[in-house]
Amino acid sequence: MFEDKNPELTPISKLGEFGLIKHLTEFFPLSNESSEVGVGDDAAVVNPGNRKVVLTTDVLAEGVHFNLGYVPLKHLGYKAVVVNLSDIAAMNATPTQILVSIAVSNRFPVEALEEIYSGIQAACGRYKVDLIGGDTTSSNSGLVMSITAVGIEKEENIVRRNGAKPNDLLVVTGDLGGAYMGLQILEREHTVFLANPNMQPEMEGFDYILERQLKPEARTDVKGILEQLDIKPTSMIDISDGLASEILHLSDQSNVGFRLYEEKIPMDNLTITTADDFNLNPVMAALSGGEDYELLFTISSNDFDKIKNHPDFTIIGHAVEKEDGNFMVARGSNQLVALTAQGWDAFLGNQKED
Amino acid sequence: MFEDKNPELTPISKLGEFGLIKHLTEFFPLSNESSEVGVGDDAAVVNPGNRKVVLTTDVLAEGVHFNLGYVPLKHLGYKAVVVNLSDIAAMNATPTQILVSIAVSNRFPVEALEEIYSGIQAACGRYKVDLIGGDTTSSNSGLVMSITAVGIEKEENIVRRNGAKPNDLLVVTGDLGGAYMGLQILEREHTVFLANPNMQPEMEGFDYILERQLKPEARTDVKGILEQLDIKPTSMIDISDGLASEILHLSDQSNVGFRLYEEKIPMDNLTITTADDFNLNPVMAALSGGEDYELLFTISSNDFDKIKNHPDFTIIGHAVEKEDGNFMVARGSNQLVALTAQGWDAFLGNQKED
């Protein structure tokens, strides 16, 4: 797809490493007060004032995390930023800066990198984070993006995974399973396209779940909403690998168990009908699909009245004693189904139950 | 070399992503007071007190930055950390934490990643930095490492590339060109080995330059030495791409020109004799070879007496007005040779003059 057969495309070697970085980052002005030195020195300088610095890093690798056959490069750049900002949001912190490293084979022209950076720029604008550093290098094959996100936050606001207590309520933002069903649509249409390149992909009507997959958003808004509700979560994590896997992480680190109520899991209608079309159980898409980038957190049961009718949040269960284990209470019965980490694993591929 | 033909080696898929990260990072205790949360939550938390945070990131890609045919994995892990710490040192800041991302194909067994991490651990111990985060994922081919280094420093200590003034002295630490000549030895012996795997490589007597290439050190000690001498550099950069390229960066950002004296460039005898063996000009190895990870900086000429006899430093030139350009004054003559950025470029390969 990106073989340099078009003589109007610019080979990366024409700009060289320094020229390339300068070219790609020139439209990234620093806008946060805390960003003192950006791209162009040996290192960037951030001034956190008297606050804490929150740091996370995520790699996306071609053929593992994305398929350039159906993921537009601009979306890839956007998503690569978002998945990192989601981790900062999951600490209840405010993202402020990113550093972007890209290893890319010479089959990519400069224009392909420009597309990726236009997506990065869109995310920086949307989330008000500054690009302050990075590295761009060639690789022997494929595209690997590694982004480090920085957040700055007052100590008292930071929420870890380890503070849940028995009887705390388990709460999730938004709806789940959509990103996974969007991926199924993309993979189906890509398979059809490979078999017959004249076929038009049938994407119509799937906008919401395609966007959940291709252009997810980080729930950086949740921190402000919770502050307004006067709620500080006792533990928090983002949903990158699937609800079940994230519940087990909170369980592990908070030393509690959980009860999850199947009937409470929030799902969009399109997720449910698409899952039906694929003969998949939509609950499995929510439990194990991953990539929803919603936030999962626990709050004291004393906060129940503050949150119970809020449209952004769904109470899906509660914490129990560690020895009571992690179980989903099946819809319409009291049957307990053990929660297992069947989430997405880059080394195993998508091991889904259906 | 790392094909998983040995039944005693452990495939990465056996541990899975979370198990792998846990396994690889379990022997990395946090030792810096500023490291509040390390590996295991959505993000790490660093407490810089009232100081600034310095951040840098560098990618190393197999086949571009290293050849696993002759670079031991432990050395690779060590060097990947060091090249980032060198960037922190070049801001006159103290490195405190790192985040490590690795994309690796399934042809690498767990034991290969353990080797890389043992090198990372050795560097963390040597430089007293904490591993606080990272991501490990599979890739379609090859090994790509991306490390982000964090430093914490008082604002008044930080030195950028943009403060050199005409008449400032140009100073370099250590000696130059050794890493490049070490690479020549490794490549020659690797070629011999590929032609005849029974040949023993002739590495004896080349220890110093091999170590400069395989196990470079970051000059994090320079900050303390300069403090003892009561010198604050006016600009600073580390030598990753070659002396000429770095001088041009200081020139560009400080808006001055430079005169570099060929006869002053510090080189080890082994670098010179090895260059002679390869029919290379050793000065070109210093100017364009790169990977020496020494520091290049400017100081006020008023500080001349403080530094002139110090064994760690060599005064190699001085800054001039911008319009007077960047030239090397040739040995034994007053001939001016224009300095050009023939340094190492990941997109061009090693374009050396000889």
Q: What is the pLDDT of residues A79-135, one digit of tens each?
A: 999 999 999 999 999 999 999 999 998 888 889 999 999 999 999 999 999 999 998
Q: Please name the residue that has the structure tokens 């800066």.
A: A97
Query: Between residues 135 and 164 of chain A, which touch chain B (CB distance below 8 Å)?
Result: 135-142, 144, 146, 148-151, 155, 158, 160-162
What is the pLDDT at residue A349? 44
Confidence at residue A1, expressed as pLDDT on a 0 to 100 scale: 44
Provide CB contacts within 8 A for A279, sequence distance 6+.
A354
Looking at chain A, the whole-number percentage of residues with pLDDT higher than 90 is 74
pLDDT at residue A235 tops 70:
yes
Whether chain A has a CB inside 8 Å of the CB on B351: the answer is: no
CB < 8 Å from A in window 177-216 of B: none
Average pLDDT over residues B39-48: 93
Q: What pLDDT is stored for residue A292 in this prediction?
A: 97
pLDDT over 60 at B2, yes or no: no
Strand segments, DSSP code E, in chain B are 35-37, 44-46, 52-61, 94-104, 130-138, 143-153, 169-173, 235-238, 256-261, 295-299, 313-321, 326-329, 336-338
Q: What's the average model confidence in pLDDT over A298-318?
A: 97
Annotated binding site of A for ATP: 117, 134-135, 161, 240
The residue among B271, B273, B255 whose CA lies nearest residue B324 is B255
pLDDT band at B282 (very low <50, low <70, confident <90, very high): very high
Distance from CA of A119 to the nearest CA of B (A): 20
Shortest CB distance from A148 goes to which of B99, B102, B341? Answer: B99
B12 and chain A: CB distance < 8 Å anywhere? yes
The mean pLDDT of A305-317, rounded to a whole number, is: 96
* Residue in chain A lying closest to B11 (CA): A347
The pLDDT, as a whole number, for residue A153 is 96
By Cβ distance, the residue of B88, B141, B346 closest to A43 is B88
Which segment, A160-169, A194-203, B134-143, is predicted with the most confidence on average?
Answer: A160-169
Q: Does A87 lie at the interface with B, CB-CB under 8 angstroms?
A: yes
* Residue of higher predicted confidence among B25 and B124: B124
- Tokens of residue B156, six digits: 């008044």
Q: What is the pLDDT of residues B293-311, one digit of tens each?
A: 999 999 999 999 999 999 9
* Nearest residue of chain B to residue A146 (CA atoms): B146
pLDDT higher than threshold 50 for residue B351: no
Query: Does residue A3 have a pLDDT over 60?
Result: no
Domains and CATH numbers, chain A: 12-157 (3.30.1330.10), 169-338 (3.90.650.10)
Cα separations in angstroms, A143 against A120, A242, B128: 15, 25, 33
Comparing alpha-carbon positions, the chain A residue that sits nearest to B18 is A345
Give CA–CA dist A174/A209, Å, rounded: 13
Six token digits for residue A309? 């009718």
For residue B252, is pLDDT > 50?
yes
Which of B61, B88, B236 is facing A137, going by the closest CB pair? B61
Judge: B139–A142 Cβ closer than 8 Å, yes or no: yes
B133 vs B2, residue with greater confidence: B133
pLDDT at B12 over 90: no
Whether residue A42 lies within 8 A of chain B, CB to CB, comes out as yes
**A161 to B64: CB separation less than 8 angstroms, yes or no:** no
pLDDT value at B350 more than 60:
no
Establish if B39 touches chain A: CB-CB under 8 angstroms: no
Tens of pLDDT, residues A44-89: 999 999 899 999 999 999 988 888 888 999 999 999 999 999 999 9
Residue A12 has pLDDT above 50, yes or no: yes
Residue of B nearest to A87 (CA): B42
B52–A contact, CB cutoff 8 A = yes
In this predicted structure, the answer to whether residue A169 has a pLDDT above a threshold of 90 is: yes
Per-residue pLDDT at A2 exceeds 80: no
pLDDT band at A353 (very low <50, low <70, confident <90, very high): very low
Say what the ipTM of the complex is: 0.89
Q: Residue B172: pLDDT band by 50, 70, 90 thresholds? A: very high
**Residues of chain A positioned with their CB less than 8 A from the CB of B101:** 57-59, 146
Confidence of residue A352 (pLDDT cuts 50, 70, 90): very low
Q: pLDDT digits over B197-237, tens only?
A: 888 777 889 999 999 999 999 999 999 999 999 999 999 99
* CB-CB contact of A123 with A90 (8 Å): no
As a whole number, mean pLDDT of residues B322-331 equals 96
Structure tokens at A245: 């896997």
DSSP B142: S
User: Looking at residues A16-41, what average pLDDT do you find?
Assistant: 87
Measured between beta carbons, the chain B residues lying within 8 angstroms of A162 are 41
For residue B344, the model assigns a pLDDT of 54
pLDDT for the residue numbered B98: 97
Asked which of A23-37, A159-173, A247-261, B109-123 is least confident by mean pLDDT, the reply is A23-37
Query: Are B91 and A42 an interchain contact pair (Cβ–Cβ within 8 Å)?
Result: yes
> What mean pLDDT is predicted for residues B136-165?
93
pLDDT of residue B354: 30
Alpha-carbon gap: B306 to the closest alpha carbon of chain A (Å): 26
Q: Which residues contact B26 (CB under 8 A, 6 or more apart)?
A: none
Q: Of all residues in chain A, what percent carry a pLDDT higher than 70?
A: 94
Mutation to test the B interface, candidates A53, A249, A350, most B Cβ within 10 Å: A53
Indicate whether B333 pLDDT > 50: yes
- The residue-averaged pLDDT of B52-60 equals 95
B110 touching chain A per CB within 8 A = no
Residues of A in contact with B142 (CB under 8 A): 139-142
Residues annotated within a binding site of A for Mg(2+):
42, 56-58, 87, 135, 238, 241
Indicate yes or no: CB of B101 within 8 angstroms of CB of A57.
yes
CB of B103 within 8 Å of a chain A CB? The answer is yes
Give the chain B residue whose CA is nearest to the CA of A133.
B56
pLDDT at position B3 over 80: no
Percent of chain B with pLDDT over 90: 74
Residue A188 pLDDT class (50, 70, 90 cuts) = very high
User: For B43, which residue in chain A has the nearest alpha carbon?
Assistant: A56
Is A69 exposed, middle or buried, given 0-12, 13-18 or 19+ CB atoms closer than 10 A? middle
Which residues in chain B have their CB less than 8 angstroms from residue A350's CB? none
Contacts of B47 in chain A (CB under 8 A): 52-53, 155
pLDDT band at A291; cut points 50, 70, 90: very high
Sequence letter at residue A297: F
Distance from CA of B184 to the nearest CA of A (A): 21
Specify the pLDDT at position B22. Answer: 83
- State whether A64 and B151 contact (CB < 8 Å): no
Q: Which residues contact A207 (CB under 8 A, 6 or more apart)?
A: none
Do A63 and B132 count as a contact with CB atoms less than 8 A apart?
Answer: no
B92: pLDDT strictly greater than 50: yes
Which residues, 6 or more positions from A204, have their beta carbon under 8 angstroms from its beta carbon? none
Asked if B85 is an interface residue toward chain A (Cβ–Cβ < 8 A), one would say: no
Find which of A54-63, A223-232, B334-343 is predicted with most confidence, using mean pLDDT: A223-232
Asked whether the predicted pLDDT for residue A4 surpasses 70, the reply is: no
Residue A348 predicted with pLDDT over 70: no
Nearest to A295 by CA among A225, A347, A352, A350: A225
pLDDT for residue A27: 80
**pLDDT at residue B117 tops 60:** yes
Quick one: average pLDDT of A124-150?
A: 92
- Least CA distance to B342: which residue of chain A? A16
CB pair distance less than 8 Å for A17 and B101 = no
Q: Distance between terminal CA atoms of chain B? A: 33
pLDDT, position B347: 58
pLDDT at B188: 92
Q: What are the φ and ψ backbone dihedral angles of B60, each rounded to 5 degrees?
A: -120, 125
